[in-house]
Structure 1
Amino acid sequence: MVVHISMVNAPTTTALSDDEVDRLFHALADATRRDIVTRTLRSDQSISALARGYAMSFAAVQKHVAVLESAGLVRKERRGREQLVRGEPQSIRRAGELLSRYEAIWNERAAGIERILAGDLATARMSRASDARQHETTDGEETER
């Protein structure tokens, strides 16, 4: 299955397979990986520099970067002896578009519930007004018209 994202205010339409969506959100599900994405969006970082920022091994940071790379959230490029990691803003944009689509679906549902509740409220008011017209009080006694 392919998820089609078509946003009213977005200039592009993006299609992601289920596997791509799964990889994207799996990668973003970890706080360390989200931090790596943030750092690499701000500036290119070597894996060594990234590793210094965490209380984990170099190999563990490499694995996190590999997960992010497979999701398209970062890419590695070699500069001399270093491998630099660069954040990929278009992948973040795709995640945002997908979340916006889910938000739009939820907002449509909430609006439908509001319409139903507003309709029920209007119906209840009409029913009470109708009941009030049907019953009059004459000399303290209630009589039906």
Structure 2
Amino acid sequence: MVELQTPQLDSIFHALGDSTRRRMLFELADGERTVGQLAEPFSISLAAASKHIKALENAGLIRREIHGRTHLCRLEPGPLASAHNWLGFYERFWTERLGVLEQLLRMEDSGKTTDPEGDDS
């Protein structure tokens, strides 16, 4: 069963709803990064980057470790599984529609379609 009312799912989709945060996650897929390294491609301040990182942390998507003055961020992909499961439930609707579209296109390619007004031409 798909969970509709989970605070974690809400925070995951909130975090993924921002392109800056999605890019940060993409960068973290290659390995840990400092806050400065995550901020660099966006020309944003460390404070702004830290707010984005906090949203990712709240969703459980990253973990931040502090070593002296350096904040290292690491991807935590586990929570993405719950978002994937939620989306997967709806995948069947797209699959069905794409299947119907494929059938229609194959019929059209083979010349088996009929005119909606009744003329076969």
3-state SS in 2 of match to 1:50: helix
Normalized per residue, the structure richer in strand is 1
How many residues are matched?
99
Contact in 2 for aligned 1:47/1:84 (Cα 8 Å): yes
Larger Rg: 1
Check 1:16–1:68 CA distance in 2 against 1; reply closer, same or farther (3 A cut): farther
3-state SS in 1 of match to 2:86: helix
Taking the aligned partners of 1:91 and 1:17, their CA distance within structure 2 comes to 15
1:67 correspondence with 2:55: yes
Taking the aligned partners of 1:92 and 1:69, their CA distance within structure 2 comes to 13
Stretches of 4+ moved more than 6 A in 1? none
Taking the aligned partners of 1:108 and 1:56, their CA distance within structure 2 comes to 40
1:82 correspondence with 2:82: no
Partner residue, 2:45: 57
Taking the aligned partners of 1:69 and 1:35, their CA distance within structure 2 comes to 15
Contact in 2 for aligned 1:47/1:83 (Cα 8 Å): yes
Normalization by structure 2: what TM-score?
A: 0.70
- 5+ residue gaps, structure 1: 6-14, 115-145
Taking the aligned partners of 1:97 and 1:58, their CA distance within structure 2 comes to 33
Name the structure, 1 or 2, with higher relative contact order (CA <8 Å, separation 6+). 2
Of 18, 22, 27 in structure 2, the residue corresponding to residue 34 of structure 1 is: 22
The alignment's C-alpha RMSD in Å is: 2.3
3-state SS in 2 of match to 1:56: coil
1:98 correspondence with 2:86: yes
Check 1:16–1:83 CA distance in 2 against 1; reply closer, same or farther (3 A cut): farther
Partner residue, 1:20: 8
Structure 1 residues 42-51 or 73-82, which shifts more?
A: 73-82
Taking the aligned partners of 1:107 and 1:58, their CA distance within structure 2 comes to 40
Normalization by structure 1: what TM-score?
A: 0.59
Shift, 1:19, TM fit? 1.8
